[in-house]
Structure 1
Amino acid sequence: MIKVYIADDQELIRESLKIVLSANSDIELVGSGSDGFETLEDIKHNKPDVILMDIRMPKMDGVIATKKIKQLYPDIKIIILTTFDDDEFVYSALKYGASGYLLKGVSMENLHKAIQTVYKGGSMINPDIATKVVTLFSKMAQSNYSIEVDEELTKEISNTEWKVIQQVARGLSNKEISANLFLSEGTVRNYLSSILSKLNLRDRTQLAIWAVQTGVLMKDFNDD
């Protein structure tokens, strides 16, 4: 069972999501809150696997709540579920460790799929803003949001791993990377795990930001 918590300041949204998600046999709803403070307090007692997080909430918004939750509970996956696709919100939420960013117009089927995906360690970004995210990474490449990796660590990365990194930086899913590089999804997951370990990075979001900042997307990695 995937334990899910809903953080949204609108009671109607919270109750609607509860009704829809409770129809899925693999999901257990463990609570809901109307702001970041309430969410932080609640999850102390019943830690969820995945949090559906609204952005604009009173007292503590979803971006700050995401930052604090990931600092305290790095294993909890967070999906930003909002009506807003503002650049600042998108970038900050991903920077602080969100595994997904979906607009509230998403179908319930796709929301369920997103919960399953992030629970398994993947990422899910609404197609409408996926291109924007890649563009944002490029624009912010020289900003204070830099991800640092010791250059010595990069020497351990193979050509195939570099190709996987490029695909991640373009916002592609494991399934898409698998198809593009003619690898099984299991092999892609193994490569990602190895890459993150070698570079001392927390997740694929940090990997994507670092890859764009360092110009990896523009390089050509020929086979050995």
Structure 2
Amino acid sequence: MINVLLIEDQRLFSEGIQAVINREVDLQVTAVATNHKDAIHKINEQHIDVVLIDVHLRHIEGIKMTLGVKERYPAIKVILLTTTVDEDLVINGLNVGADGFLLISLYAENLIRAVRDAYNGQVVLSGDVAKILAKKDLQFNKKQILAQHLEHRNIQFSCREIDIAYLLMEGYSNKVIAQKLYLNVGTIKNYISDIYSELDMRNRVEVIEYLDGLLDRNR
């Protein structure tokens, strides 16, 4: 039997998920929690295999909840549920150890399959979430190529500088870059100033044109 803890503070949605899971012979919602403290208490009291977490909980972010569960109980599988596909939310959720990320709008049979697959060690993703990861993989490859081109010119960027350089090339403002990297705007400005110095350039336009030119050589 796969024992599931559901962390959800919307009663109607909670009851719907319980009904879907509890009709299966090999699955059961063993406990329901509405907040972090209650969830940890339930895990300590009962044997839990899989945790389903609404990423949009009102009193605590689902990402923080995931981190708390995985730090204390790394063997437990955690699947995040979301109403919308947000790139930063997906990446952050997987980075803190989530074993899956699913859209709430998925069919009941897909939820059941995902719980079983996560229990068996697979990463479970809705189609739209998988597309985001494919896009991120492409971005990662571009960053690697950019770093290699710079290194060939004896320019050593740190990993953070590569991240910022790539986002500059994508046309993002300092404020948006700061939000994406969870840094303050002042820190981003300092990094960009360092990038200017390392490239011996004076402004954003020069830097972007130069970096774009490096990647163009690889196309």
Q: Name the TM tier (shorter chain).
A: 0.5 to 0.7
Distance verdict in 2 for CA 1:36–1:137, change over 3 Å: farther
Amino acid at match of 1:75: A
- C-alpha displacement of 1:135: 2.0
**Unmatched runs of 5 consecutive residues or more in structure 2:** 144-158, 164-219
Contact 1:40-1:65 at 8 Å conserved across structures? no
User: Which whole-Å CA distance do the structure 2 matches of 1:137 and 1:52 have between them?
Assistant: 26
In the TM superposition, residue 88 of structure 1 has moved relative to its aligned partner by 1.4
Q: Does 1:84 align with 2:84?
A: yes
* Alignment match, 1:121: 121
The match for 2:26 is 26
Q: TM-score, normalised by structure 2?
A: 0.62
Residue of structure 1 equivalent to 2:64: 64
Q: Percent identity?
A: 28
Higher RCO (C-alpha under 8 Å, 6+ residues apart) = 1
Aligned-residue Cα RMSD (Å) equals 2.0
Secondary structure, aligned partner of 1:43 = helix
Task: Provide runs of 4+ in structure 1 moved above 6 Å.
Answer: none
Please identify the structure whose Cα radius of gyration is greater. 2
Give the 5 Å matches for 1:123-162.
Answer: 123-139=123-139, 142-143=159-160
Q: Write out per-residue CA displacement over residues 45-91 of structure 1, whole angstroms, 9 at most, x where no aligned residue.
A: 11310011111112221100101110100000011111021111101
Cα deviation for residue 25 of structure 1 reads 0.3
Unpaired runs of 5+ residues, structure 1, are 147-224
Distance in 1 (CA, whole Å) between partners of 2:13 and 2:139 is 33
Q: Which deviations, in whole Å up to 9, do the C-alpha atoms of 1:6-64 show, x marking residues without a partner?
A: 11120111111111111000002111112233212221111310011111112221100
Matched to 2:17, the amino acid is L
Alignment partner of 2:45: what SS? coil
Quote the Cα distance in structure 2 between the aligned partners of 1:58 and 1:34.
Answer: 9
Show CA shifts across 1:104-162 (max 9, x none).
01111011000110101111110122111232355477459x9xxxxxxxxxxxxxxxx
Aligned twin of 2:101: 101
Bigger shift: 86-95 or 126-135? 126-135
Cα pair 1:3 1:50 within 8 Å, conserved:
yes
2:39 alignment partner in structure 1: 39
Judged with a 3 Å threshold, the aligned counterparts in structure 2 of structure 1 residues 20 and 12 are, in CA distance, closer, same or farther, namely same
Give the 5 Å matches for 1:154-193.
none
Equivalent position amino acid for 1:91 in 2: I
Distance 1:143 1:15 in 2: 44
**TM-score normalised by L of structure 1:** 0.60
Counterpart position of 2:74? 74
Q: How many residues align?
A: 145
